[in-house]
Amino acid sequence: MALDSQRIRAQFPALRRTVHGRPVAYLDGPGGTQVPQSVIAAMSSFMSLGGSNHGGAFASSRETDATSEKARQAMADLLHARPEEIVFGQNMTSLTFALSRALARTWKAGDEVVVTRLDHDANISPWVLAAEDRGVEVRWWDFDVEDCTLWYDQLPQLLSDKTRLVAATWASNALGSITRMAEVVRQAHAAGAYVYADAVHYTPHALVDVQAVGCDFLVCSAYKFCGPHTGILYGKEELLEGLRAYKVRPAPDHGGEKWETGTQSFESQAGVTAAVDYLASLGQGDSRRARIESGMAAIQAHGEMLSRRFLDGAASVPGLHVYGITERQRLHERTPTFAVSLEGYQAREVAERLGEQGIFVWDGHYYAVAPMERLGVLDSGGLVRIGFVHYNTEEEADRVVEALDGLARRKR
């Protein structure tokens, strides 16, 4: 099923923005997507109707309780989990720090954790700091700088009976590379280790199924899949129940709420439900999960189409280097997110020149410090990141290629 771009784009008020009379091309999706009107309306409705704190004996409080329950069920449907396994927080980073602190209590000196150099720093620093606190060794899983994919042959050498955790990105927010997560889980579990999957960048582009993959924990962020700024943690129920949470005494002792510090953003939870429902609206089926499966398949196909369109054009731009997978037959191994450099320009200058033309892209390291260090570009300003999501079009792919070509030829 192909996506109807015109129908989709009509739902996003931000896409009507212009610069110098031209529509803005939001190619900054990896840093946060735009939101459809349904999400805006859901959040506004919660606040305008008089949202109260949860747990009260009156109508607006009971409505807040229902809002949270609906959001938990929506995320359970999106991830193929159970509502009891869903935790909400300020963002993925704060949730990861909280979980790392709890897990570290179970470690002892001489244990080991494996982290990847391909990941966002939010799935690196929490584990490195926790390891330092407990006298635990950090073992680094490296990647191939040629295609920017993990060295899978290296993982068995990093695992041992002392390994307690493998923290791995499901997709690189900087380079687009997709990790073979099921393979990582299989090997980690065989060694007796848990897997903490960073799916922040993967979730907007492909179907997540925690039951099929078997990861122990997973984090994602709603603002990367057309929702509000809220983080979500999935954890296997027996693990969330068994670990000790750092929490205040009145907080629940069971379920996802055990891990939710303080009062949550209930209006954001309303937006989360609306965002999941929006994704489901792109597909077909008798249940929300079935519609999500269908819709995400269409999103993934659209992303591969945009990747092909961009790469075909980029190949003719002089001095443009695209990092990571570029072979057309391997596009299923990456998201439509491209880190590039342009000869004669610093990354910041490229982003500024494109921004002047109404093409919004990121530059720098985007908190993916380790990959930029590994590629040798961190100290020189990082790279330009061009990120397509499902509301982007072939015309926008052509437009950014044309703009890059124009910059390139000014230096010739």
Q: Is residue 286 part of a domain?
A: no
pLDDT of res. 236: 98
Q: Is residue 287 part of a domain?
A: no
DSSP characters over 61-76: HHHHHHHHHHHHHHHH
Three-point CA angle 241, 247, 250, nearest 5°? 95
Q: Give just the sign of the alpha carbon dihedral 232, 237, 239, 245.
A: positive
Same domain flag for 218 and 336: no
Same domain flag for 245 and 381: no
Residue after which a domain boundary falls, among 253, 280, 307: 280
For residue 95, give its domain range.
41-280
Q: Could you list the mean pLDDT of each consecutive 10-residue stretch along the chain, which spans 412 residues?
A: 93 97 97 98 95 90 96 98 98 97 96 98 98 98 97 98 98 98 98 98 98 98 98 98 92 90 94 98 98 98 98 98 97 98 97 98 97 97 98 98 96 68
Same domain flag for 199 and 347: no
pLDDT of res. 412: 63
The distance of Cα 139 from the centroid of its chain, to the nearest Å, equals 23
CATH number of the domain residue 101 falls in: 3.40.640.10
Residue after which a domain boundary falls, among 216, 247, 280: 280
Same domain flag for 30 and 46: no
Same domain flag for 273 and 351: no
Same domain flag for 50 and 109: yes
8 Å CB contact between 316 and 77: no
Q: Name 138's bridge partners.
A: 113
Q: Is residue 288 part of a domain?
A: no
pLDDT of res. 247: 87
Same domain flag for 272 and 123: yes
pLDDT of res. 282: 98
Same domain flag for 206 and 314: no
Q: Is residue 13 part of a domain?
A: yes
Q: Is residue 192 part of a domain?
A: yes
Q: Count of residues for the chain? A: 412
pLDDT of res. 316: 96
pLDDT of res. 411: 72
Same domain flag for 31 and 47: no
Q: Is residue 131 part of a domain?
A: yes
The distance of Cα 135 from the centroid of its chain, to the nearest Å, equals 30
Same domain flag for 111 and 76: yes
Same domain flag for 56 and 25: no
Q: Is residue 268 part of a domain?
A: yes
DSSP 260: -
pLDDT of res. 252: 87
Residue after which a domain boundary falls, among 252, 280, 308: 280
Q: Residue 398 burial (CB < 10 Å; 0-12/13-18/19+)? A: middle
Query: Token pair for residue 129?
Result: 């700091």
| Count of structural domains within the chain | 2
d(CA 309, CA 313): 6
8 Å CB contact between 225 and 203: yes
Q: Is residue 289 part of a domain?
A: no
Run of H or E including 182 = helix 181-190
pLDDT of res. 290: 98
CATH number of the domain residue 353 falls in: 3.90.1150.10
Same domain flag for 274 and 371: no
